[in-house]
């Protein structure tokens, strides 16, 4: 703003600066503020709209990623909407109230003097070595693309929940006593690790219809001590590897995850591990055979851990087949036998007990000692009218049979699953290699097919949404820039900063070793809006310099030399350095502290912030150096081709 006031006071390029302060009338002061507000506010307004538009892909995310990032997008959008209104309403009023008295020259600020002293020689070097400058930028951009392509991919960066969920699976026909023994042994081994604070294990299912866990699935929540009490140099990954080595029990397949993400996975996809291959078909035996083939193909794939097949066979069922001929000899009916079996094994209700507002059924059945084996069940007595008491084996065949421990179906199709977690490698690369190996080694029977689910299903959904909407967002941003400048050339000049913002973001993500994820994509989305905003500010000031040049020298190639054109472009870039540096600094000062953040949630915030920090640095470098160069080359072309400059209205 003060730059514009100085221009009105005669501090423009080539003018002599007065050492004395000039008093201006109140009307003229308000007119200067009004003109300056008009010059900047339209560009800032459209920059705000562009940033809001760039967040459109975040609004279109669904599922887990949508629920996570929608609050961020809505909060930022509402703040920017209010900001856009205040820029054109409140800001000019506040300027008129506080911009009074005497103003110091920009050179009175030592920071500003230092920045201009450094920047001006650099921009002059750029103007002289044009091909070298553009070549360096294009080379950096070309290098960043394969760097991004070489990164791994995952759905979301893993959130450290400060706890571990141990989910081993044993044989489906394990007894209650054996499951209890395994649980107690595991809990003692886990508690022996110094970093473990508390251990709570559970076998079987809770008394609710929403928990379908069989008795063979054990869940143990491991609460860890604060990290300052851990052994030197040990990490959570090291703890899991140490615990996994301690808990190698025959007949038990270990599984490691975290409590919250495990529940989210089970509710959203039905898979309790990172990745699951659902095997759909018509026969449980064939599904199990195919699942074993898939497991064999996945053995040896780097990154695949805790691999096991969800048991669809191996359950034990007590079958009681009634002999109708024997029933006729003893004068019994099927209902008589069923009633005895139900009351003796399952229990029959005989009444209720009331405790306050709660009611409990009273069931009666045989004691454990009289029903804990097949032989004892065969001796359960049945009363007859003519023959006294006869054993159950006289009228029925009692035996154990194999069957499915639990029948699972998706979309009316029987379903089995091969499950595994991904550790020491990115999820996307692991699954891609696994898919290629399974497709190469496995031939499915007719009517059977595989479906890759779990976190990989969420990853594919998020990628498809972002790839579909990204081109639309770029078109909307370009149209917003066109409305801001009224020129397709100037709009393209501002939009070209986006790929160069990609350079720093790619370098930061690559050297920090972060995998590409929805969080990284959201960081790049936010970066593109910031980069375009800074580019808009630069183009506004460059056009303002052109307007000053035309006002002083006329709009003709006969009156404007290439040297004068270059000097005015340098002046528009260098003498307006402070607002551009401030725009970049505000973004950096707000983001850099996240790099040093620690604790729960910091591992999710880091992938969002990294591309924004790196991209702001490279995009600002591009805007400060390359944008004036391209602008100068464009104006030189206009003079050479048309004989005059295409000067935009400075009231942007």
Q: What is the CATH number of domain 105-150+486-642?
A: 1.20.1640.10
Give the range with max mean pLDDT: 78-82, 293-297, 421-425, 464-468. Answer: 293-297
CATH topology assigned to domain 317-393: 3.30.2090
Query: Where does residue 182 fall: left (phi above 0), alpha (psi -120 to 50 degrees), or beta otherwise?
Result: alpha
The closest of 624, 510, 634 to 573, measured between CA atoms, is: 624
According to the model, what pLDDT value does residue 620 have?
Answer: 79
Q: Is 70 exceeded by the pLDDT of residue 651?
A: no
The mean pLDDT value for 204-223 works out to: 75
Residue 32 CA to residue 24 CA, distance in Å, equals 10
The mean pLDDT value for 107-121 works out to: 78
Q: Give pLDDT tens digits for 621-639.
A: 888 888 888 888 888 888 8
More confident residue, 43 or 176: 176
According to the model, what pLDDT value does residue 1 have?
Answer: 37
Q: Is 70 exceeded by the pLDDT of residue 357?
A: yes
The mean pLDDT value for 160-174 works out to: 83
Helix then strand then coil, in percent of the chain rounded to 5, is 60, 15, 25
Q: Please name the residue that has the structure tokens 């065949």.
A: 397
According to the model, what pLDDT value does residue 20 have?
Answer: 52
Task: Kindly list the domain boundaries of the chain, sorted by start residue.
Answer: 105-150+486-642, 162-257, 317-393
According to the model, what pLDDT value does residue 494 have?
Answer: 72
The mean pLDDT value for 336-356 works out to: 87
Q: At 590, is the pLDDT very low, low, confident or very high (cuts 50, 70, 90)?
A: confident
Residue 240 CA to residue 161 CA, distance in Å, equals 14
The closest of 500, 571, 486 to 535, measured between CA atoms, is: 500
In angstroms, how far is the first alpha carbon of the chain from the final one?
Answer: 14
DSSP E strands: which ranges in 184-246?
196-203, 218-224
Structure tokens at 255: 């599984």
The closest of 241, 222, 247, 276 to 169, measured between CA atoms, is: 247
According to the model, what pLDDT value does residue 356 have?
Answer: 86
Estimate to the nearest angstrom the gap between the alpha carbon of 331 and the chain centroid.
70
Alpha helices in 389-487, H assignment, sequence order: 427-441, 455-485
Q: At 426, is the pLDDT very low, low, confident or very high (cuts 50, 70, 90)?
A: confident
Homologous superfamily of 162-257 in CATH? Multidrug efflux transporter AcrB pore domain (3.30.70.1430)
Q: pLDDT above 70 covers what percent of the chain?
A: 92
The mean pLDDT value for 251-273 works out to: 81
Q: Please count the CA atoms within 13 angstroms of the CA of 27 that sit on its side-chain side.
A: 0
According to the model, what pLDDT value does residue 10 have?
Answer: 38
Structure tokens at 140: 């950096």
Q: Is 80 exceeded by the pLDDT of residue 428?
A: yes
Q: 205 and 212 in contact (C-beta within 8 Å)?
A: yes
| pTM beyond 0.75 | no
Q: Say what angle helices 455-485 and 63-88 make with each other, to 10 degrees.
A: 20
More confident residue, 208 or 548: 548
174-188, 281-295, 418-432, 599-613: segment of lowest average pLDDT: 599-613
173-177, 302-306, 452-456: segment of lowest average pLDDT: 173-177
The closest of 105, 62, 103 to 461, measured between CA atoms, is: 62
Q: Is 80 exceeded by the pLDDT of residue 650?
A: no
Q: 252 and 347 in contact (C-beta within 8 Å)?
A: no
Q: 638 and 569 in contact (C-beta within 8 Å)?
A: no
According to the model, what pLDDT value does residue 16 have?
Answer: 40
Give the range with max mean pLDDT: 325-329, 474-478, 534-538, 601-605. Answer: 325-329
Residue 534 CA to residue 488 CA, distance in Å, equals 18
According to the model, what pLDDT value does residue 208 have?
Answer: 65
The mean pLDDT value for 67-96 works out to: 83
Q: At 328, is the pLDDT very low, low, confident or very high (cuts 50, 70, 90)?
A: confident
> Please, what is the Cα angle at 501 between 498 and 507, to 5 degrees?
145
Residue 187 CA to residue 168 CA, distance in Å, equals 12
Structure tokens at 599: 């604790």
Q: Is 80 exceeded by the pLDDT of residue 143?
A: yes
Q: Give pLDDT tens digits for 360-381.
A: 888 888 888 888 888 888 888 8
């Amino acid at each position: 703003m003060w730059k514009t006031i100085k221009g009105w006071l005669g501090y423009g390029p080539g003018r002599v600066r007065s050492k004395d302060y000039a008093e201006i009338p109140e009307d003229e002061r308000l007119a200067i503020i009004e003109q300056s507000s008009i010059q900047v506010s339209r560009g800032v307004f459209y920059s705000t709209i562009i940033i809001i538009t760039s967040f459109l892909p975040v609004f279109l995310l669904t599922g887990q990623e949508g629920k996570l990032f929608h609050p961020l997008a809505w909060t930022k959008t509402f703040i920017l909407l209010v900001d856009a209104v205040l820029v054109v309403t409140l800001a000019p009023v506040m300027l008129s109230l506080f911009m009074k008295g005497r103003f110091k020259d920009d050179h009175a600020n030592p920071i500003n003097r230092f920045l201009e002293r450094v920047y001006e020689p650099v921009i002059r070097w750029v103007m002289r070595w044009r091909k070298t400058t553009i070549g360096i930028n294009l080379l950096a951009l070309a290098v960043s693309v394969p760097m991004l392509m070489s990164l791994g991919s995952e759905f979301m960066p893993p959130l450290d929940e400060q706890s571990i969920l141990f989910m081993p699976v044993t044989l489906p026909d394990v007894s209650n006593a054996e499951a209890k023994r395994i649980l107690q042994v595991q809990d003692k081994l886990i508690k022996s690790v110094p970093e473990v604070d508390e251990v709570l294990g559970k076998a079987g299912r809770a008394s609710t219809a929403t928990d379908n866990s069989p008795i063979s699935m054990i869940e143990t929540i491991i609460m860890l001590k604060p990290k300052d009490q851990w052994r030197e140099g040990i990490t959570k990954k090291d703890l899991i590897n140490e615990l996994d080595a301690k808990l190698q029990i025959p007949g038990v397949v270990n599984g490691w995850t975290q409590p919250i993400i495990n529940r989210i996975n089970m509710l959203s996809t039905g898979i309790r591990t990172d990745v699951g291959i659902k095997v759909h078909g018509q026969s449980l035996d064939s599904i199990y055979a195919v699942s074993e083939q898939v497991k064999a193909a996945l053995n040896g794939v780097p990154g695949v851990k805790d691999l096991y097949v969800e048991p669809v066979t191996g359950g034990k069922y007590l079958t009681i087949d009634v002999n109708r001929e024997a029933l006729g000899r003893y004068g019994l009916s099927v209902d008589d036998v069923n009633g005895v079996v139900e009351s003796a094994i399952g229990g029959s209700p005989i009444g209720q007990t009331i405790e306050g507002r709660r009611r409990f059924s009273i069931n009666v059945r045989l004691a454990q000692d009289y029903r804990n084996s097949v032989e004892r069940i065969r001796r359960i007595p049945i009363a007859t009218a003519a023959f006294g008491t006869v054993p159950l084996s006289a009228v029925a065949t009692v035996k154990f049979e194999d069957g499915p421990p639990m029948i699972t179906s998706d979309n009316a199709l029987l379903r089995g699953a091969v499950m595994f977690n991904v550790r020491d490698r990115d999820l996307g690369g692991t699954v891609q290699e696994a898919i290629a190996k399974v497709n190469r080694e496995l031939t499915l029977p007719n009517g059977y097919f595989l479906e890759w689910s779990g976190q990989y299903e969420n990853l594919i959904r998020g990628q498809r949404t972002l790839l579909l909407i990204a081109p639309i967002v770029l078109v909307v941003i370009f149209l917003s820039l066109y409305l801001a400048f009224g020129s397709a050339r100037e709009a393209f000049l501002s939009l070209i900063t986006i790929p160069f913002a990609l350079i720093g973001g790619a370098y930061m993500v690559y050297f920090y070793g972060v995998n590409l994820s929805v969080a990284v994509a959201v960081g790049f989305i936010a970066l593109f809006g910031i980069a375009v905003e800074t580019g808009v500010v630069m183009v506004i000031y460059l056009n303002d310099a052109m307007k000053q040049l035309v006002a002083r020298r006329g709009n003709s190639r006969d009156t404007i030399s290439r040297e004068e054109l270059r000097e005015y472009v340098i002046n528009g870039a260098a003498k307006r350095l402070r607002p551009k540096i401030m725009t970049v600094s505000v973004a950096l000062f707000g983001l850099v502290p996240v790099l040093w953040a620690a604790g729960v949630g910091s591992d999710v915030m880091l992938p969002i912030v990294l591309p924004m920090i790196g991209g702001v640095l490279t995009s600002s470098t591009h805007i400060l150096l390359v944008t004036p160069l391209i602008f100068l080359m464009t104006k030189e072309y206009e003079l050479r081709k048309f004989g005059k400059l295409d000067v935009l209205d400075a009231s942007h």
